[in-house]
C-alpha cells in the first residue's frame, strides 16, 4: 500500500489551548476514511491542518514523501492545488458559471487543452450521473446535484487525496444517500483517497475506516472489513455512544 498522509506527534494549539495532541496517523492510497468525534474534539481542526488550510504547532505531516513543514506559503498553495481536492458542505460553486464550467475551472486555471479537459471530464460525468445538468447554472439545480458537481470538481484534477468536510450536512436523506453512494463509486472506480469529517453515523457507515477523536487525541479506530453497512453502522453507533456527539439516523 502507498501511504498518502502520515503524521508524527501532530499538535495544534490556539493560545494556551491544546486542540490536537500528539496525533500519529496514516492514510493509505484508496482508503475512504471518516473522522468522527464529539463537538470540540478537534476533527475539523485536524482536517484543516492535514489539508494545509491551517498550520500545525508541533510534529510533522507528510503527503507522500513531502514534508509540509518544508514548504513556504506559496509552495504550500501550489502543492495544495496540485495534490488536494475539496468538497465543502456549502458547495462553493460560482453562480455565474455553468455546472460544466464549475467542474472544469481548476483545469482551466491550469490552461489545460480543451480536448484533454473533455477527456478527463467524461468518465466523471458518467460516474456521477450529471450529464443532463452540465449546461445548467447552480441556481437551477438541487442541493444534491450541487454536491455532485462539487465532487466532480474535487476529483477532476486527479488529486492525491480528497478532503470532504460534512458533505452531507446540507442535504436531505435521499440526496445524502445518493451522494454517499457516488463517493463510494468514485473511491472504488478511480481509487480516489477520501478523508471525510462527519458527525453523521449513517454517512460514516459508507466508509471503510472510521477514526474517532476525543479531546484532541485519537481514541479508537474501526475497520469495516467484510461487514455489511448495517453491521458497520451498529459498531460505529456503539463506539460513538461511548464517546458522545454522534448523530444517528
Average pLDDT over residues 119-142: 95
Query: What does the alpha-carbon distance between residue 138 and residue 91 come to, in Å, rounded to a whole number?
Result: 10
Query: What does the alpha-carbon distance between residue 134 and residue 154 come to, in Å, rounded to a whole number?
Result: 16
Q: 178, 232, 186: which is closest to 207 by C-alpha?
A: 232
pLDDT at 34: 97
Tens digits of per-residue pLDDT, 47-87? 999 999 999 999 999 999 999 989 998 999 889 988 999 99
Q: What domains does the chain contain, in order, with CATH numbers? A: 3-245 (3.40.50.300)
pTM of the model: 0.90
Burial tier of 116 (Cβ tally within 10 Å: 0-12, 13-18, 19+): exposed
Axis-axis angle for helices 99-109, 114-128 (nearest 10): 130
b or e along 153-162 (b: 16 or more beta carbons within 10 Å of the residue's beta carbon)? bbbbbebbbb
Contact (Cβ atoms closer than 8 angstroms) between residue 107 and residue 117: yes
Tens digits of per-residue pLDDT, 167-222? 998 889 998 999 999 899 889 988 999 999 999 999 999 999 999 999 999 999 99
Instruction: Quickly state the pLDDT bin for 88 (edges 50, 70, 90).
Output: confident
Amino acid at each position: 500500500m502507498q501511504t498518502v498522509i502520515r503524521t508524527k506527534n501532530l499538535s495544534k494549539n490556539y493560545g494556551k489551548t491544546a486542540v490536537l495532541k500528539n496525533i500519529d496517523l496514516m492514510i493509505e492510497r484508496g482508503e475512504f476514511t471518516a473522522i468522527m468525534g464529539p463537538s470540540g474534539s478537534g476533527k475539523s481542526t485536524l482536517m484543516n491542518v492535514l489539508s494545509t488550510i491551517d498550520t500545525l504547532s508541533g510534529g510533522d505531516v507528510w503527503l507522500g514523501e513531502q514534508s509540509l513543514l518544508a514548504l513556504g506559503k506559496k509552495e504550500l498553495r501550489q502543492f495544495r492545488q496540485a495534490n488536494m481536492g475539496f468538497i465543502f458542505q456549502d458547495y462553493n460553486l460560482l453562480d455565474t458559471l455553468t455546472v460544466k464550467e464549475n467542474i472544469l475551472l481548476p483545469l482551466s486555471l491550469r490552461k489545460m487543452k480543451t480536448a484533454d479537459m473533455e477527456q478527463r471530464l467524461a468518465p466523471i460525468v458518467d460516474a456521477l450521473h450529471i450529464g443532463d445538468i452540465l449546461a445548467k447554472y447552480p441556481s437551477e439545480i438541487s442541493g444534491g446535484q450541487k454536491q455532485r458537481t462539487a465532487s466532480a470538481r474535487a476529483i477532476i484534477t486527479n488529486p492525491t487525496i480528497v478532503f470532504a468536510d460534512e458533505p452531507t450536512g446540507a442535504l436531505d436523506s435521499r440526496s445524502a444517500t445518493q451522494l454517499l453512494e457516488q463517493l463510494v463509486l468514485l473511491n472504488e472506480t478511480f481509487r480516489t483517497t477520501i478523508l471525510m469529517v462527519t458527525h453523521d453515523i449513517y454517512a460514516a457507515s459508507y466508509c471503510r475506516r472510521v477514526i474517532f477523536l476525543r479531546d484532541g487525541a485519537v481514541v479508537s479506530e474501526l475497520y469495516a472489513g467484510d461487514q455489511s453497512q448495517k453491521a458497520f453502522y451498529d459498531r460505529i453507533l456503539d463506539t460513538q455512544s461511548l464517546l458522545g456527539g454522534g448523530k444517528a439516523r
